[in-house]
Chain A
Amino acid sequence: MTKHTITLSLWWAGAWHVIDQATIMSDTVSATRGYAPDGNPRPASITCRIHDDAWRFDPDNEASDLFGLIGPRTPAVLVVDGTADAAGEVSAWSPGQSIDYRPAAAGTGQRGWRWVDLVVSGVTRRIGSWPLRLEAPMRRANLATPSWAYYPCEDEPGASVIADLVPGNKPASVVTGLKLATHAGPLGSELLPEAQTVIPDGPKWGAPLVTPQPGPTVWQVSVAINGVGADFSAGGHRWWRIFTSAGYTVTFYASDASGGYGVGIEEPEGVTEEMFFSSYGTDNPMTTSVLFVARFTIGARTVGRFRWATQGAPGWTTPADYTWTAGWLIGYPVRWEGVTIPKGGAGHYRFVAGPTPDLVDDTLRLAFDAYGGEPAGVRFTRLLNQAGFTDVGFQGDPALTQLMGPQLADSLPELLRECAVTDDAVSTELRGQVAPFYRTRKYLYENEYLSPWVLQYPRDISPPFDKITDDIEFSNVVRVKQRGGSEAFAQQTTGPYGTAEVGEEQADVEVNVSQPATDLPTLARYWLNRRMVPGARYPQVTIDCERNPELAARAAQTEVGALLQIVGFRPTPVLLRVIGVTAVTGTHRRKVTFATQPFPMGRIGRYDGAAYRYDVRGCTLAVACTATATALQLDTAPLESWTTKPASFPYVIACEGEWLRVTGMTAPSGATNRQVATVVRSVNGVTKTHGVGAAVSLAEPTYYAR
């Protein structure tokens, strides 16, 4: 028997410390990772018992040298025979002792035992419990670089003031007629304030600004405006007004009536000096959100620069820099006032002193767009990085993952789940590091599915290996729903599992794709294929590493998402996808159990690959045959036929569970494309007669990858 080397490493005082085999007291240690058998996400876990007469590993034991160094969240890694089984953070330390425990004393030896039970949970347990909605992308990006003042205006409905997130300024006042958290803002942002009626002149909502010292000669401002539903009938189309230290005012306009944006400058006497104006064309703020940026240089005949970005559109609009021809701007901002147009929404008012950071920046624009069009893998990593997780395991190219729609307001675990489901990736945890782990769908296709692990039953598989034919994980109606948007349905009506035969079994899949109109219908069909797996489930596959030591190494390396091909259990091989792994190890025993789900579509086709063949649609038996007949007459649909090329023989077809090796095939003829196949019967051991109309297909069809 193989003796297994088991080490549990704990992290404290800035280093890993190995708890060696002699200290691990439990008969076995258990490690799990991946999804639960029902397919739901589940954090990795390790359970083991440490022999600890001094209760050194009790975090609550003041006498321990580890007091204050260990506790909840202490990182841990379990390594068996040199390969990590799982990693996580200790979520429970439970000291205990045997009933007869008595410490050694003068003249008497120790009796009994003391121990500490450890439960280690993967980092996704902690992340998964975070309920707070993530900061809006726009807010996060605006706070990533220095500002003079920044008012996101995402304040709660009952707030009495509007907060400035840059220390030093006063909050903005809220006046009668202004309703907080009411108007849609940039995607992913919380709701913005909305003027319910025309807010009259006088004390408007806004705030004084504390002047930077020395006052800047260049200053920049930006605002996100959303005019959907705005009412211009009462006149006025002012979204923002800024008062300068020299008594000038700068006013931002945008209106449906004028069809453009404007920035006007007024002298202290109230005379309008000059107006920059540009038609917004298709960048209509009355239909979507627009991020408007302006830069001013104080002095005579200076240049102003104006840019805007429209939600969902690429790039910045770039009108030429504007030279004030009649007037000029003097002073730096000392106070501002917000939108006063009924039903108009605006927020994310930002001031920057000086030319840097340049607010015409693609980082800001992408955040304003809530990262619409971002690949799922890139978003997964970005979200975790922003949450402070610098180590994120990744397999595959993040750029080659499903393009996602805008990142809408939600909690981190929900957004991470959304990335994985949208890409249909595997989202688990690294086994040797306390870090999330993402395996892209494309990576699985190109690696795991192309080379499944072939296991021979019963030689390689230990009991229990049960099959269950039930309706779990089965659906013949699938709705794929876009986050906050449209939906698409796919339904299987015909066949033994179609709705006409067995009624509806519905399933819902929530995704967030960048092109819902084109992506959702295809995704609905994909998920219908995923859910329409006929036949039995095989919930688990167990490898006993003592009985089959030659399988131990590969079992240890097998990751969630791997494909298993079980041969010898039934006439037709079974394809199973690993969704979870549980390893139970003792000093002289080890079993690795894979939680699995049927995955016939893992047999993806590869163009021009010798092992891959096209199937033939709608082929049926034209004439009934005995169990031993070797010439079968087949009818096929128009445009379909079996290959007759000698070099292609033999190939294996299936009819009602029997596999038949084709050694010859005549050319199609007649109205029904009749072909006569010369076959070897019962190549998988199934022997039966077949009636007219029995379906004939490839024994092992191949599938389109998504």
Chain B
Amino acid sequence: MPAGGDIIYASDGTLPAAVQVADGTNLTGINVAGPIAGSPVVGVVFTAPPSGRVRAAVTGTLAATAGTGQINGLLAVQVRTGAVIGAGTLVHDGFAADPGARVVFIGPINGGVCGSAAMMVSGLTPGAQYNAQTVHGVLGTSAAMTVYNRAVTVDPLP
């Protein structure tokens, strides 16, 4: 949001285009608590709009392939400062923050979830570059999961 005394620019009311990256690679045998980005990394670089607010969304599928009892799986989006994906200071950690932008699976082996989750991330510096990427992790006794169809989307907000 512009502050009092800021010059009025034509683009103040114009938002940059939304950015999205998706990847269908099956990441099998994921058995670490994470957060890890996996390979290939699914991430985008974006410029913060004048409002300093974006909606960061993660989409993907988690399928429990090993483990006993309750298996927990997370697929989340992390937003960081700078134009290098995965680097910079965290400004939103969907993996750890409550609430956070993450798809969650809680269930037994052979269960799964396909979903999407989004959060508004505010307080970004207008005009500065940021990056967002998906991260994932698994918890549970001898647990492993397959993660696939990952996507990250960043929508600038007014």
Q: Please give the residue numbers on chain A whose beta carbons come within 8 Å of chain B beta carbons, in ascending order.
A: 521-523, 525-526, 528-530, 601, 605, 612, 614-617, 637-641, 697, 701-706
* Distance in angstroms between the alpha carbons of A705 and B14 in the assembled complex: 19
- A-B contacts besides A701-B7, A706-B4, 20 pairs, CB < 8 Å: A522-B1, A522-B3, A525-B4, A526-B3, A526-B5, A529-B5, A614-B10, A614-B12, A615-B7, A616-B9, A616-B11, A617-B9, A637-B11, A639-B11, A640-B9, A640-B11, A641-B10, A704-B5, A704-B6, A704-B7
**Contact residues in A for B14 (Cβ distance below 8 Å):** 639
Which of B2, B5, B16 has the most chain A CB within a 10 Å cutoff?
A: B5
The answer to whether A526 and B4 touch (CB under 8 A), given A638-B16, A639-B16, is yes
Q: List 29 A-B contacts (CB under 8 A).
A: A522-B4, A523-B3, A525-B3, A525-B6, A526-B3, A528-B5, A529-B6, A530-B5, A601-B5, A605-B8, A615-B7, A615-B9, A615-B10, A616-B10, A637-B11, A640-B11, A641-B10, A697-B7, A701-B8, A702-B8, A703-B6, A703-B8, A704-B3, A704-B4, A704-B7, A704-B8, A705-B4, A706-B4, A706-B5
- Are the CB atoms of B5 and A703 closer together than 8 Å? yes
Chain A residues with CB under 8 A of B11: 616-617, 637, 639-640
Q: Mark B9-52, 1 if CB is under 8 A from A, else 0.
A: 11110101000000000000000000000000000000000000
A702 to B5 Cα, complex, angstroms:
9
B-side interface residues, number (CB < 8 Å): 15
What residues of B have a CB within 8 angstroms of the CB of A528 in the complex?
5
Chain B positions near chain A (C-beta within 8 angstroms): 1-12, 14, 16, 123
A627 → B minimal CB distance (Å): 27
Q: How far is the CA of A525 from the CA of B7 in the complex (A)?
A: 12
Q: Which listed residue, A529, A640, A702, touches B3 by the CB 8 Å rule? A: A529
Q: Report A-chain residues with C-beta under 8 Å of the C-beta of B16.
A: 638-639
> Measured between C-beta atoms, what is the minimum distance from B32 to chain A in Å?
36
B-chain residues with CB within 8 Å of residue A641 when the two chains form the complex: 10
Which among A526, A605, A639 has the greatest number of chain B C-beta atoms within 10 A? A639
Chain B residues within 8 Å of A614, by CB = 8-10, 12
Contact at A529–B8, with CB atoms within 8 Å?
A: no
Shortest CB-to-CB span from A653 to chain B, Å, is 13
In the complex, A67 Cα to B72 Cα: how many Å? 92
With a cutoff of 8 Å between Cβ atoms, the chain B residues found around residue A615 in the complex are 7-10
Residues in A neighbouring B7, C-beta threshold 8 A = 615, 697, 701-704
Closest chain B residue, CB of each to CB of A532: B5
Q: Chain A contacts of B9 at CB under 8 A?
A: 614-617, 640
Chain B residues with Cβ below 8 Å from A523 are: 3
Docked pose: A180 CA to B149 CA in angstroms = 65
Name the distance in Å between A58's Cβ and chain B's nearest Cβ: 52
Q: Give chain B residues whose Cβ lies under 8 Å from the Cβ of A601.
A: 4-5
Chain A residue with Cβ nearest B49: A639
Residue of A nearest to B5 (CB): A529
Q: Are B10 and A640 in contact (CB under 8 A)?
A: yes
List residues of chain A with CB within 8 A of the CB of B8: 605, 612, 614-615, 701-704
Instruction: Decide: A706 near B3, CB < 8 A? Known: A638-B16, A639-B16.
Output: yes
